[in-house]
A and B are shown apart, each in its own frame.
Chain A
Amino acid sequence: MNLKLKALTKSIWVFHFAAASCNNCDIEILDALTPKFDLERFGILLVGSIRHSDVILATGAISHKAAVRLKRLYEQAPKPCLVIAVGCCACSMCIFRDSYNMAGPFDRLVPVHAYIPGCPPKPEAIIMGVVKLVKALKKG
């Protein structure tokens, strides 16, 4: 497993999965693509298919309907696939933890490798989280 993780060198392909979020974290993730922050200069590329992804940027507190979709998508993701929980909801469900309709947080359903708290975390924080994780993995 560790050898494969070390192979994540050049471009990190990131898949964005929103599970019952208020969309703030999602917009901040997309904001990271804009010229002001420009994800791509770190070699981070947002992709449209889970089958191509190295990293899942996961947002939201996960409703039951979203949990169903998450399980299916995670199965399709080529392993190793790292999951980064972006935002308080993804990290711990936050204010939605007592809700009757929530199945989360993410680490209850899939392994999570990094947590980026914030409501929402700024694009800088998101980029830093992804870069930090990859650097840590490269070290082994």
Chain B
Amino acid sequence: MAKTIIPVGPYHPLQEEPEFFKLLVEGEKVVDVEIELGYNHRGIEKIAESKSYDQVIFLVERVCGICSTSHPIASVNALEDLGDIKVPERALYIRSIIGELERLHSHLLWLGLAGHFIGYNTVWMWAWRYREPVLDIFEKITGNRQHYAMMKVGGVRRDIESDDIPEIWKMADGLLPVLDMFRGAVMDDPVIHARLKGVGILTKEDVFAYGAVGPTARASGIAIDVRKDDPYAAYPLVDWQVITQEEGDVFAKAVVRILEMYESVKIIKGCLDKLKVVGGEIDAKVKEIPPGEGIGRHEAPRGEVFHYVRSDGSNRPVRYKIRAPSYMNVPTNQKSVVGGTVSDATITLAAVDPCYCCTERVSVVDKKTGKKRLTGQDLIKLSQEKTFRLRSRGLE
């Protein structure tokens, strides 16, 4: 198990590959970063204009596989904003449960990848192992491990049976000792402190200038969270709190995500309790979307997802605009990666939790010669080696 290398990056010796991140370096120091998008551009907004609103919700689910329910939640919020549609209470709890289960699996996934990038492969294996029960619950209550197709305008597509509630509760509760373990492993490990503290700092001003969102913003002390700021679903109906840290470094971003998972468990339990007593419909049975415009948001694991929809009264959107959180967070690397070292680059890039495939397509170019020096896989190795050096030096 320890010998397996995750190939998070194809080895491509050719010069003209379309990299996502191109780091310009002078010696060991990163002096600039060029970011290139377009690799994953699938023209979803244009496709949406030829689909019915129901189909659009299925379409936007596939914007991102990890944040898969985030886009449908923002989508139904936008359409319900447009049509002033009221959602039955029971559906609100189900929406939040799905949203928070997703946050759990997404943060655990991130934790695993981050662990891998700095050479803690046991963290990776454990994080992904404990992700599986979350996915099993998803499969049980929605029919799929990812892409749950749970959201519809005015409600949800499937109810959570009362027989399933104890099992979901047990799984969520069972995560608490696991979270304690990760908390101890990450927050108390002096090597991780040395490795992640002070690395990839993003200041409050930079967060504001770039419009960063999610844990990336909250780790720098900016307490923005759509669930509290512009409440929707069951978030105002159960007890939980927004997690922030102050330092803005990679360590702070990791701590925010770990502590947020405790809050997710709290929210899930709170909603499950309510589901035991709140009956009724799960669907407002919306027949049509009136002309107008609507904006819907959701606090996805990575931050604010923003959807804007314009309708002319027909069953297809005139315009459908999607803005994913990483769109605001990834550019912040111009501040956090630049000035750092090459061995810290991978974990800094990963710290804003971008699309996993994007972190892999990195190249390092020597600023003076213009020659390509390292690939994404080399960078991961460098990062892992740095941790090894810190560990073997023996910190007291």
Give the residues from 29 to 65 in chain B that come closer than 8 angstroms, CB to CB, to chain A. Answer: 38-44, 46-47, 50, 58-59, 62-65
Prevailing SS type, chain B contact patch:
loop
Q: Which chain B residue shows the least CB distance to A118?
A: B144
Least Cβ distance of B361 to chain A in Å? Answer: 9
| B209 touches A (CB below 8 Å) | no
- Cα of A45 to Cα of B377 in the assembled complex, Å: 17
> B residues bordering A, Cβ < 8 Å?
1, 4-7, 9-12, 14, 17-18, 38-44, 46-47, 50, 58-59, 62-66, 68, 109, 125, 128-129, 132, 144-147, 355-357, 377
Other-chain contact of B6, A28, A33, A35, A63 (Cβ < 8 Å): A33
Q: Could you say which residues of chain B place their CB within 8 Å of the CB of A22?
A: 62-65, 68
> A residues bordering B, Cβ < 8 Å?
15-18, 20-28, 30-31, 33-36, 40, 45-51, 61, 63, 65-66, 68-69, 72-73, 95-96, 98-102, 119-120, 122
Other-chain contact of B125, A20, A27, A34, A120 (Cβ < 8 Å): A34
- Asked if A26 and B43 make an inter-chain contact with CB atoms under 8 angstroms apart, the answer reads no
- Asked if B356 and A26 make an inter-chain contact with CB atoms under 8 angstroms apart, the answer reads yes
- Asked if A36 and B129 make an inter-chain contact with CB atoms under 8 angstroms apart, the answer reads yes
- Asked if B66 and A27 make an inter-chain contact with CB atoms under 8 angstroms apart, the answer reads yes
Interchain pairs with CB closer than 8 A, number: 126
Q: Which chain B residue shows the least CB distance to A30?
A: B6
Other-chain contact of A95, B39, B47, B65, B66 (Cβ < 8 Å): B47
Other-chain contact of A34, B39, B58, B65, B129 (Cβ < 8 Å): B129
User: What are 8 residue pairs bridging A and B, where the CB atoms are less than 8 Å apart in the complex?
Assistant: A15-B7, A21-B40, A23-B65, A23-B66, A27-B66, A49-B7, A95-B58, A102-B43
- Cα of A51 to Cα of B65 in the assembled complex, Å: 29
- Asked if B145 and A63 make an inter-chain contact with CB atoms under 8 angstroms apart, the answer reads no
- Asked if B39 and A66 make an inter-chain contact with CB atoms under 8 angstroms apart, the answer reads yes
Least Cβ distance of A124 to chain B in Å? Answer: 11
Least Cβ distance of A17 to chain B in Å? Answer: 7
Least Cβ distance of A28 to chain B in Å? Answer: 7
- Asked if B42 and A20 make an inter-chain contact with CB atoms under 8 angstroms apart, the answer reads yes
- Asked if B68 and A98 make an inter-chain contact with CB atoms under 8 angstroms apart, the answer reads no
Least Cβ distance of A101 to chain B in Å? Answer: 5
- Cα of A49 to Cα of B9 in the assembled complex, Å: 8
- Cα of A122 to Cα of B138 in the assembled complex, Å: 13
Q: Which chain B residue shows the least CB distance to A98?
A: B47
- Asked if A26 and B125 make an inter-chain contact with CB atoms under 8 angstroms apart, the answer reads no
- Cα of A8 to Cα of B296 in the assembled complex, Å: 52
Contacts known (A27-B109, A28-B145); A20 close to B14, Cβ less than 8 A = no
Q: Which chain A residue shows the least CB distance to B146?
A: A24
- Asked if A34 and B147 make an inter-chain contact with CB atoms under 8 angstroms apart, the answer reads no
Further 6 A-B residue pairs, CB within 8 A, beyond A26-B356, A96-B42? A16-B7, A20-B40, A22-B62, A22-B68, A23-B355, A24-B65
- Cα of A60 to Cα of B144 in the assembled complex, Å: 19
- Cα of A49 to Cα of B8 in the assembled complex, Å: 10
Least Cβ distance of A55 to chain B in Å? Answer: 13
Q: Could you say which residues of chain B place their CB within 8 Å of the CB of A24?
A: 62, 65-66, 68, 146-147
Among B41, B64, B125, the most chain A Cβ lie within 10 Å of the Cβ of: B41
- Asked if A63 and B11 make an inter-chain contact with CB atoms under 8 angstroms apart, the answer reads no
- Cα of A48 to Cα of B1 in the assembled complex, Å: 16
Among B40, B58, B147, B356, the most chain A Cβ lie within 10 Å of the Cβ of: B40
Q: Could you say which residues of chain B place their CB within 8 Å of the CB of A25?
A: 65
Q: Which chain A residue shows the least CB distance to B360?
A: A18
- Cα of A34 to Cα of B121 in the assembled complex, Å: 11
Q: Which chain A residue shows the least CB distance to B38?
A: A65
Contacts known (A96-B47, A101-B42); A31 close to B128, Cβ less than 8 A = yes
- Asked if B11 and A50 make an inter-chain contact with CB atoms under 8 angstroms apart, the answer reads yes
- Asked if B65 and A63 make an inter-chain contact with CB atoms under 8 angstroms apart, the answer reads no
Least Cβ distance of B12 to chain A in Å? Answer: 7
Q: Could you say which residues of chain B place their CB within 8 Å of the CB of A27?
A: 65-66, 109, 146, 356
Least Cβ distance of B198 to chain A in Å? Answer: 30
Q: Which chain A residue shows the least CB distance to B7?
A: A48
- Asked if A119 and B42 make an inter-chain contact with CB atoms under 8 angstroms apart, the answer reads no
- Asked if B4 and A98 make an inter-chain contact with CB atoms under 8 angstroms apart, the answer reads no
Q: Could you say which residues of chain A place their CB within 8 Å of the CB of B5?
A: 46, 48
Q: Could you say which residues of chain A place their CB within 8 Å of the CB of B46?
A: 99-100
Q: Could you say which residues of chain B place their CB within 8 Å of the CB of A31?
A: 128, 132
Q: Could you say which residues of chain A place their CB within 8 Å of the CB of B7?
A: 15-16, 46-49
- Cα of A100 to Cα of B17 in the assembled complex, Å: 22
Other-chain contact of A48, B10, B125, B129, B355 (Cβ < 8 Å): B10
Least Cβ distance of B260 to chain A in Å? Answer: 20
